[in-house]
Amino acid sequence: MSQNSGFLGSSIGKKIIMGATGLFLIAFLVVHCFINALIFFNDGGLTFNVGADFMAHNWLIRAGELVLFAGLILHIVQAFVLTMANKKARPIGYDKIDGTANSKWYSRSMGLLGTLLLIFLIIHLAHFWVKSRFTGLPGEDANGHENLYAVMQETFKMFWVVALYVLAMVSLSYHLMHGFQSAFQTLGLNHKKYTPLIKKAGMWFSILIPVIFSAMPIAMNMGWIK
């Protein structure tokens, strides 16, 4: 039978879109995190700028960037559509709900955590992406690469920016804590042997990635890396 006309309109189709785009964004986080971690060479950003320059000018990466934005927007729009439908599914709420008895608070708060991340993302894009792609960067480094590192140093001098980034990473951590393992479940990848491994890997991923990201503004602000 080939009745795939209603797939994207169905509840399961929408869930699968959420899970698939979520995993795609997780893959992006890994790349983003490791390239940014080049700042920890502590060589005045020379190594980091090689990576940043490549990411900014390689045509394959730039094309990938469009796919990334498409995935991100799909994830956000789908979340909004699903949330609206879910609100409609329970027009009269309960007087008393004992949520902690049967689920984790962050599993129930994905919309809130996601909204916080979206606000952060807009500020974050304004800090770096807009400058790198549109308004231009302040000159080049010793090797002749675009100096995105200098923008980082400048931005992370402000304490409120560092605080904002760290708080956003806390949101990210909890968003991933649910999202990582949930994406596998949604795609039907549930197995007695492997699901506990996926959950464990998801937990470590949700801690490590935000910790590495948080270390960047903190280290720059404190002057640990120059």
Stretch that binds other proteins, among 37-45, 90-98, 159-167, 198-206 (CB under 8 A): 90-98
Which distant-in-sequence residues (6+ apart) come within 8 Å of 166 by Cβ? 214, 217, 218
> Per-residue contact track with other proteins, 141 to 180, x per CB under 8 A?
-------------------------------------x--
Q: Packing angle between helix 59-89 and helix 46-57, nearest 10 degrees?
A: 80
Q: Which of 128, 131, 113, 126 is nearest to 171 (CA)?
A: 113
CB of residue 98 vs other proteins: minimum separation in angstroms?
3
| CA-CA-CA-CA torsion sign (213, 183, 74, 102) | negative
* Residue 203 lies near other proteins (rule: CB under 8 A): no
Nearer to other proteins among residue 21 and residue 214 (C-beta): 21
Among 99, 130, 211, 226, binds other proteins (CB under 8 A): 99
Among 59, 60, 66, 88, binds other proteins (CB under 8 A): 88
**In whole angstroms, what is the distance from residue 72 CA to residue 174 CA?**
18
* Residue 193 lies near other proteins (rule: CB under 8 A): no
* Residue 77 lies near other proteins (rule: CB under 8 A): no
CB of residue 102 vs other proteins: minimum separation in angstroms?
4
* Residue 115 lies near other proteins (rule: CB under 8 A): no
Neighbouring-strand partners of residue 185: none
**In whole angstroms, what is the distance from residue 165 CA to residue 163 CA?**
6
**In whole angstroms, what is the distance from residue 180 CA to residue 37 CA?**
22
- Which residues here bind other proteins, judged by CB under 8 A? 1-4, 6-7, 10-16, 82, 85-86, 88-99, 101-104, 107-108, 110, 178, 181-182, 185-190, 192
